[in-house]
Amino acid sequence: MIRYGAVEAGGTKMVLTVCGEDLKPLEKAVLPTEEPGRTLPAMIDFFRDKGISALGIGSFGPLQLNPAAPDYGSITSTPKLAWRSVPILKAMTDALNVPGEIDTDVNAAALAEFELGAAKGLRSCLYVTVGTGIGGGVVCEGQLVHGLLHPEFGHMLLRPDPADPMPDGVCPYHKGCLEGLASGPAMEKRWGESAKTLPENHDGWRIEAEYLAQMCANAVCCLSPEKIILGGGVMHRTSLFARVRERTGALLGGYIQNERILNGMEDYIVPPALGDLAGATGAALLARRALKA
Ligand code: ZN
């Protein structure tokens, strides 16, 4: 029986899942992300006796995803300094003696939604997570987009809202980028209150929708995805979807003459169909690809 090991590697926790051949989770463990010298061996130990045939990793980044590069599968310039240059894929697949594939956490989730979720049957989609950080994964013509490095949706530059009291945002690298303006920590810093408890009628939600809509409008113009899937903790505030759709339509100004855009986008800007399973399912799909290769 085939089993896949799936790793969701995050800055605060590592979610490890054993999936069956049908990609459904069988067993799961969550470890805190500590020093790699401590966390990596614990991750390997979890999978050691699980009989997995391949490993898939959806990881925080940035990552080296060029298979020809000597450091393929390594985490590169992350602000989590202890994890910089850590060859997470090679360390795990060597120790477990299985094939493996790695991609960004958001590319893994995009792949899952593309194969099995909200974008099933289409040729392209964009998956964006809006939480502690913001990242976007892209499937184009059935392929995950890598290119030079991989897309970094969280750091696209936006136009500040005139009523934003913190128009530079909180990103240490850029003024006014999406993650710096619209991540959960950005909202909390701006309003002195967590997005979880910020009242529904607070202007912060209008500003949040404005920034997410700017991103969606940019994505429509740059990538022309057939579906935009918005996940992550901040999107648990489900009233954001209607606000983002309406504002995206306004920003596009009727220029994109496609009925998916012009009909209110209820079926175009959507939550993940796989919900919180998108990450683990995506990593299991990467494992399946590694096994087939
Ligand atoms: Zn930035």
Residue 183's pLDDT is what? Answer: 97
What's the CA-to-centroid distance between 167 and ligand 1, angstroms? 13
> In 3-state terms, what secondary structure has residue 152?
coil
What's the CA-to-centroid distance between 184 and ligand 1, angstroms? 14
| pLDDT of 184 higher than 80 | yes
**Distance of alpha carbon 69 from alpha carbon 53, whole angstroms:** 25
- Stretch 42-70: mean pLDDT: 94
Output phi, psi for 113, to 5 deg: -65, -30
| pLDDT of 225 higher than 90 | yes
| pLDDT of 62 higher than 90 | no
**Distance of alpha carbon 126 from alpha carbon 134, whole angstroms:** 13
Adjacency order of strands within the sheet including 134-140: 143-144, 134-140, 125-130, 228-231, 269-270
What's the CA-to-centroid distance between 177 and ligand 1, angstroms? 5
Name which of 134, 135, 142 is nearest 111 in CA terms: 142
What's the CA-to-centroid distance between 97 and ligand 1, angstroms? 37
- Stretch 201-213: mean pLDDT: 98
**Distance of alpha carbon 139 from alpha carbon 150, whole angstroms:** 12
Q: What percent of the chain has pLDDT over 70?
A: 100
Residue 77's pLDDT is what? Answer: 81
Residue 61's pLDDT is what? Answer: 82
What's the CA-to-centroid distance between 260 and ligand 1, angstroms? 30
pLDDT digits (tens, 9 = 90+) for 237-268: 999 999 999 999 999 999 999 999 999 999 99
- Stretch 189-204: mean pLDDT: 97
**Distance of alpha carbon 63 from alpha carbon 77, whole angstroms:** 8
Residue 65's pLDDT is what? Answer: 93
Contacts (Cβ under 8 Å, ≥6 apart) of 47: 5, 16, 18, 55, 92, 96
**Distance of alpha carbon 17 from alpha carbon 55, whole angstroms:** 10
> If pLDDT is split at 50, 70 and 90, which confidence band does 12 have?
confident
> What token pair was written down for 61?
């980044």
What's the CA-to-centroid distance between 181 and ligand 1, angstroms? 9
Distances (CA, A) of 42 to 18, 36, 39, 207: 15, 9, 5, 42
**Distance of alpha carbon 209 from alpha carbon 214, whole angstroms:** 8
| pLDDT of 222 higher than 90 | yes
- Stretch 30-53: mean pLDDT: 96
pLDDT digits (tens, 9 = 90+) for 82-125: 899 999 999 999 999 999 999 999 999 999 999 999 999 999 99
Residue 42's pLDDT is what? Answer: 97
What's the CA-to-centroid distance between 180 and ligand 1, angstroms? 6
pLDDT digits (tens, 9 = 90+) for 119-174: 999 999 999 999 999 999 999 999 999 988 889 999 999 999 999 999 999 999 99
Distances (CA, A) of 210 to 46, 168, 182, 214, 265: 43, 15, 9, 6, 16
What's the CA-to-centroid distance between 156 and ligand 1, angstroms? 7
**Distance of alpha carbon 210 from alpha carbon 203, whole angstroms:** 11
Residue 34's pLDDT is what? Answer: 93
Amino acid at residue number 123 = R
Distances (CA, A) of 185 to 78, 83, 233, 274: 18, 22, 11, 25
> If pLDDT is split at 50, 70 and 90, which confidence band does 16 have?
very high
> What token pair was written down for 99?
């094939």
The mean pLDDT value of the chain amounts to 95
| pLDDT of 11 higher than 90 | no
> In 3-state terms, what secondary structure has residue 177?
strand
- Stretch 62-71: mean pLDDT: 91
Name which of 250, 272, 249, 273 is nearest 259 in CA terms: 249
